[in-house]
Amino acid sequence: MIFDHDHFMDYALREANAAFDENEVPVGAVVVLDNRIIGRGHNRTEALKDATAHAEMLAITSAAEHVGDWRLDNAILYSTIEPCAMCAGAAVLSRIRTIVYGGIDPRFGACGTLFNIPVDPRLIHRIEIIGGIREPEAVELMQTFFRKVRKHKEG
């Protein structure tokens, strides 16, 4: 089966823009199964006062509710930025098949940058990783957000 990663990353970018509009770090995620979006989320850590309210976590939870099971076999997680250790771990535990992300995260990335949790042979499940999809847009959104934050702090 051929997957249109650009198409589904567009939906993740829409979620990231929603986070931006809510003054959250602009990361968005969607979970796709059988070529349909079954879960979506964007960062809500500030709004929910919850360190676990990352886009990927919310999208995985939404997808699990949709299918009625915590196992998301054959699902693809799209995230605008490389998932952190918590989100990569949640993807492994939920049996996600593939993680597709936009930009790398040099500070927290756990899908090849700092760690590589999804392919660690010590874990019971391994995940295919595809990076760099719509990377310029994802990175630009993050840079714009953090410029705005710095300008606000200076002003």
Residue 29 near residue 80, CB atoms below 8 Å: yes
- Nearest CA among 58, 104, 112, 60 for reference residue 82: 104
Residue 22's contacts (CB-CB under 8 Å, 6 or more residues apart) are: 42, 44, 46, 47
Q: Which H/E stretch holds residue 26?
A: none
- Nearest CA among 81, 87, 61, 110 for reference residue 16: 81
List active site positions: 56
Residue 30 near residue 39, CB atoms below 8 Å: yes
Give the integer Cα–Cα distance in Å for 93 and 71: 8
Residue entry with tokens 């949790």: 117
